[in-house]
Structure 1
Amino acid sequence: MNPVRIFISSVQKEFADERAALRDYLRGDALMRRFFEVFLFEELPAADRRTDVAYLDEVRRCDIYVGLFGNDYGYENTGGLSPTEREFDLATAEGKYRLIYVRGTDDAARHPKMRALVRRAEGGLIRKRFNTPSELVAGLYAALVEYLEEKQLIRSSPFDAAPCMKATLDDLDPERMAWFIRTARATRRFPIAPDASPHDLLEHLNLLDDGRVTNAAALLFGKQPQRFLISSEIKCAHFHGTEVAKPIPSYQVYKGTVFDLVDAAVDFVLSKIALSVGTREAGPQAPVRYEIPKEVVAEAIVNAVAHRDYTSNGSVQVMLFSDRLEIWNPGILPPSLTLEKLRQAHGSVPANPLLAEPMYLAGYIERMGTGTRDMIRHCTEAGLPEPEFAVSDGFRTIIRRTLAPGQTPQPESQPESLEARVLVLLSVAPRSKAELSRGLGQKEISGQLNKVVRQLLADQMLEYTIPEKPGSRHQKYRLTEKGRATAAKHGSGGDTP
């Protein structure tokens, strides 16, 4: 965004210290520097034009006029007006955002024309009095923060509750919202009717702000969320060693809704860690075991997506090394939580509450603050070290890799046939064609995958999860009994179940 230009108007000699203090503060403070650009006439380079024309041009260019009124009136032109009064009059005529600060309380000591200007200013403006440069700086800071909030450049409410600039209801996917209603009703007994309109769903979830689409709505249901929130993506990388090094064997950048991001990143990791498939002695479904429990991988990635700072330009990063899995997100712990408390029973303090609630309703997260403790428990049960949590330039989760007995690393080349790999992926959970493609861990030729899926359907190894809608975008495939038996052979190295 273009900086907000501030013009400081005053008698320069009388307010030399205050002008310098405001300049230094506005240029030195991180928040002020990010949004504002201050103009001081004394810093204007020499130019072949009249000074009165130059400063009035700057008033026209500014967004905010700051007037410092004291005792002196200043040099008067032939019409009897000082530069300060002419600047104030022009700012008023131009409809500029005006902030007036009056030094001292003794109006009797002021020049008569300055007294008249103060009275005129206070007739239509809220003005503040000050005595010292520090009081002036504090007063202007508060006023500028209020300005940023009014313009919705910053917000005291959560980011996810703010309106998503330029996004409309047409930018949301009705099919994705229909999927959400079906899933939430089945998972959490969501009370909205299956045929509810998109507007009714968004109203129920508090995802509209005066009829406008919020950031949370765009992240959850947007057709292309990254059009509006460019950093809302996940970068996944797989390294053979223990350090970041090029060339990167596998690197993917995933885009889409938060549900798409989580599914894609989890599939990326699961496709590259050790997998064992047991026998069906205990039931019809052959048990599948990953070297890092799927629940741990999913929880770490969901946390990164749900609790990140979406005002940051950084993206969630998922990095798989030979000895560990690292998930990083641009975010910090809320003040009420510490790294130690993450390992204890603690309340749920979502950074993005309107984003977290639908993810809970869809079964992606819990809302009782149990996620990190569940990760610790699952890692311990799998014979892994407890996850590590760290806060530095963001929030980082580190999960160590230690192979359990009987497990072997997933071959990097994945020499098995495409058919076998599809079956093994589906043995974990039903997947759409897009999810299968992502889970394979490489760019498969679309025609190849389509051919394999058609053949597996014909061989009665796969079936549709929604038989009545085979062409739906969100249609998924699952294994039949015959498919589960074949997948178990591939996943367990050829042992017959």
Structure 2
Amino acid sequence: MSKTAAQLKQLLSLGENQTLEYLTSCELKHCGPQVCAFLNTQGGYLLCGVDDNGQIKGVEYAEQVAEQLESQLKSAIQPPVLFSVEVQQVENKQLLVIEVPAGKDIPYAFNSDIYIRAGEQTQKADVDTIRDMVMRKQVEPTRWERLFSSELDEQGLSASACKKLLSAKRIPKEVAQAEQGLLHQLQLLSLAKYGRLTNAADLLLASAPGKRHPQARVRAVCYRHKADDEYQDLQHLDGPMAEVIEQLITFVMRNTPSRARFSSANNQREDIPMYPEQAVREAIVNAFAHRDYSNFAGGIKVEVSPAHLKIWNSGAFPQGIDEHKIQQGHISVLRNPDIAHGLYLQGYMEKLGRGSVVIQYACKAAGLPAPKWHSDSSSGVTLTLFATEVTTEVTTEVTTEVTTEVNTEVARMISLMSQEHSRDELMALMALKNAEHFRKHYLKPALEITPALVEMTIPDKPTSRNQKYRLTALGQQLKQQLSDKKTS
């Protein structure tokens, strides 16, 4: 999450330390060693546009400088890694804030030199330090994504997925221009080694990774009603990661009803998706980037219902991260940096740790309740996006203006209701003949939304043959608003 001015001032008040460095310059030759040092140590913040005494000098043309610097850093630092470069304003001056995680693939090098952080100082690592870093790396267990994928060769890769990755705008020049063949290009991206493909390459690029890794398969299900056990749509997806991501996004948007937005600031009804596509995209990409693939009983599941959208993936939050920190966009060590980098190159990931913030902002802008994350080491991580509920706004003059978001079917029924109606009468008003369709798409959503727009005349006997339905006070207000919008 972007740091506030108060948070930045607090950082400035701390002075330079093991995890904080000031630079007046934004030049690559000055920033590169600092970022490299943080990666090789324990992460940290680099504030550009600040002198050694913590005085804010600012950065001219900060947006352009930030974009250029981020691209240069990611080309000059090896192995590939994600970090965040953002522009922040303090005291009417713009700063560059570079947030760097503790690297998972040390040693990192900037222009072939290895740097470390020693207290407040950044320095080149000596031979003994480099040897120690390499030795520690050798004794650490190899990450699952770096293990060789069994029985996968070039013939098992998807030609279209490889083309999409290697032609991406963010692909390094040395990779795009390499002439030694596909395996060599993938080796430059840490997706192959010694002529063999890794598990990360399998998930990102193979035509059917589920053949070798059942946990790579994805399940998507749509329930029409809150209490339904039967599903309306079900898919099991297997293929190159980017392709599956796009299929999942399409699944969610296809099975999510549009909603009509009415507000005093808008004179016309606007039909919009229940969940903003930006939030859906970020949530799905995050599940693929951060899940634990080493759990062979794991997976990813997307569940769509009228009340919510749930995205579950196996594996708990990384160590040191909880629900509160994930909401803040707290930067952390990636569980799958090779997979995350492959998604970044193709434009699916922008900033490390920023997906959660994008999701929250998109939901808030769409008028949705705040999303929630839940992590359990035994069951995995679940992100829930909630559908809208009807809300009322009462002015100080006690005149009520209803601002609501409902699906178009419910809005149509409410606009036609004038008294107490039986089910058959309501169907006749709307020229509907299919009773089950009417129940699922019109009546039940109007009864279940909170607060309700429609109520039963005999609530204790919902199946009574004498049952009728009428508008609640809120339903009457919405009907009036619909009428006002129609005639305005």
Please indicate the TM-score interval, normalised by the length of the shorter structure: 0.3 to 0.5
**Which of the two has greater strand per residue?**
2
Q: Which structure's CA Rg is the greater one?
A: 1
Structure 2 length-normalised TM: 0.47
